[in-house]
Structure 1
C-alpha cells in the first residue's frame, strides 16, 4: 500500500526518442507531461535520444530539465543506465513503439532499478506487416519482393516483439483497446503477456464546455488532419476519393491540414485533375478554427494507435468517415452508429461514404451526437488516476 504522503510526492520522468518534431506522438507526450504537472505529479526530467531541431515544437513545461543524449541506438542502453543512476530516476514513461530502442531502455531500467512503462502509440501490425495491396503490386511489381520479404521476416519480428513485451515487467500501456486487443490476440497463448497489456487513453486536453458544438453554425467543409505519407497514413487515398465526387459539389471544400513526404505528389494530382475545391493548409497547430466550422472529418489510415485528430473532430461534432485501420479507430467510431468505416484502399467506397454524409444532414447530426458521447471516456481525472495506480502497484 502507498501512503498519502508518498502518493502526493509521486515523481515520474519521461523518455522520448526526439521531443522536437511536429508529430502525433510528440504532441500527446507533451500533453501528458503537462497534465502530470497540472495534477501534482512531478516530472523532473525529459530525456531524448537525439534532437532534430534546436527547440521542441510543442509547449513542454519550462520547469522540467531536458536532456539530449545525442547517441545512437547501439549506445543507448549504457547512456540511459548512466543517466538513470546519476539522476536517481525511479519511475519512467517512455515512447514504446520502436522495438530496438524499447528493448535497450528496458534493459537499462532493469539494471538501474527503474520502474519503466512503455506507452504504446501504434498497432503491432504496423511493425509486423507491410501495407501493400494487390493493386499496388499490379502497378509496381517490385513491391511483390518487398511483400514476400516482409512475410519471410515476420517470424523474426514476432520474436523481437515478444522479447520486448516480456522485458516490460511493469506492463505495456496501449493508447487504445484496439491496439491492446491486437497484441493479446497475437500472443493469445501467453498468459504473462496478456496480463501485462492494458489501456490508458491519451489525454484529450480540451475544455469540452468551451467548445462551440452548434451544428447549425457549420459550413460545407471536410477536414483531413494528418501527416501526409503513404506507409501508415495512406494519405493519397484522400485526393483520389475526392476526385471521384468533387466536381459534383462545388459548394463543398476539402481542407487538408498537414504536411509530409507526399505533399507535392498530392498537390500535383489535384492540379492535374483540375480539382478546385481543395485547400492544402500545410502543417498547422491551431486546428480548432477548422474543426469548429467543418461538418465532416475523414481519415484514410492503414493503422492508428488511437487517432487523436478524429477524437478532436468528434469533440467538435463532426461526422466521421474513416478506413478500417489497424489499431484503435474502433474505440472511436462504430460503423453505421457513430460514423462510417470503409475498407482500406477503396477510394470509390470512401467517396460514396463521404457523399452519403454530405447529402444527409440528419444522418450527420445523428452520427455526430452519438460519437460525442465517447468524449466522456477521455477524462483527465480518470487518465491521471490510471497512471497513478500503475506506479503505486
Structure 2
C-alpha cells in the first residue's frame, strides 16, 4: 500500500473520531473524560454489531487485502478492481456493496482506535497534573493504557481475519477480543460514574449479601465468555442452520455429530485439518453444543439477576440483565425457526454484546461497593473536577 493511500486511510479514521470528540468537547458541563469513556463504549458496541452484520452478509473479504481495499484508501479508488472481481463472480466475496460494508467496518474501528488514544493521553495528563497521586487507584491511567494495547491486538486480529481468509479460530478470537474491549471500556465508564456519584456506605447485612453475590457474578462472566466463544464458533463456521428445528436437532435429541472435526481449532474455513471438506455432522456438533450450553447461561445469568434484584444499587442492572437474557434466548430460537433471517441474526449478535455490558456492570458494581470505604468515597467526589 502506497504511503499516500495509507495517509488518506489514517485521515479517514481521524475524521471518524473527530465527530464524537467534538461532541464531547462541546457538551455542556464538566466531566468530559467520563463522557468520552462512555462514547467509546457506545461506538465499540456499534462496531461489534456492525462487525456481526459484516460477517453475516459474507462481507469479511469484501476487500481482500488490509488495511485498504486493493491497496487504495477506499472502494471509490478501487472501483476498477472491485468491478472486475464482481463481474467474474457476481455472488462471490467481492462486490461493491460488500466492499463498502467491510471498509465502513474498518473506518469505524480506526475511529475507535483514535478515540482510545485520546482517552489514554488525557488520562496520563491528569495523572501527571496530580503528581501521580490517586485515591484508591480511581484516577489510574493504566486501564486506558490497557485499552490502547488491547485495541492494537484487536486490529492485528482484524488484519489476520482477512489475510488468513476467514480462518474460523482467528475470526472467533477477533470477536472475543472485541467483546473484551467492550467490557474493559464499560468497566472504565463505570469507574468514572462512581467517581462522580459515589454511593452511600453499606450496612453490614447489605455488604454480606454483596459478598455472597460476588462469586456468582464472576461465574456469570465466565459462563458468558464460554458461550460467546461457542457462538462465535457457530457463526464463523456457518453452522447456524445445522439444526433446523427446536428443541430437537434434526428430529433427534442427540443427532449424529462429529466433535473431533467440529472442534479442531486450527484449520481452514469449511475444511478439516487434513484439508478435506468439513462433514455436516461436524457442523451439527458445533451448533448442538452452543444450543445446549445456552441452558447453562440462562440458569447462571438468570440466578445472578434474581439474586441482585433486591440489592442496593443493582436493581436496574438486574432487571435489564433479565430482560436482555430473555430476548437473547428468543432471538436464538427465532433464528432457527425463521431460517436465519439477517435482522434477527444481527439482533442476536447485539444481544450478546448487551449481555457483556450488563454482566460487566454487575461485576463492577459489586466489586466497587465492596471495595470502597465510605471515607474513600468522600475523597473521590473531588476527583472528577479535573475531568474537563
Common topology (TM > 0.5) = no
Band of TM-score, shorter chain = under 0.3
Answer 1 or 2: which has greater strand percent.
1
TM-score by length of 1: 0.26
Q: Which has the higher contact order (CA 8 A, sep 6+)?
A: 2
Answer 1 or 2: which has greater helix percent.
2
TM-score by length of 2: 0.26
Work out which of the two has the higher radius of gyration on C-alpha atoms and give 1 or 2.
2
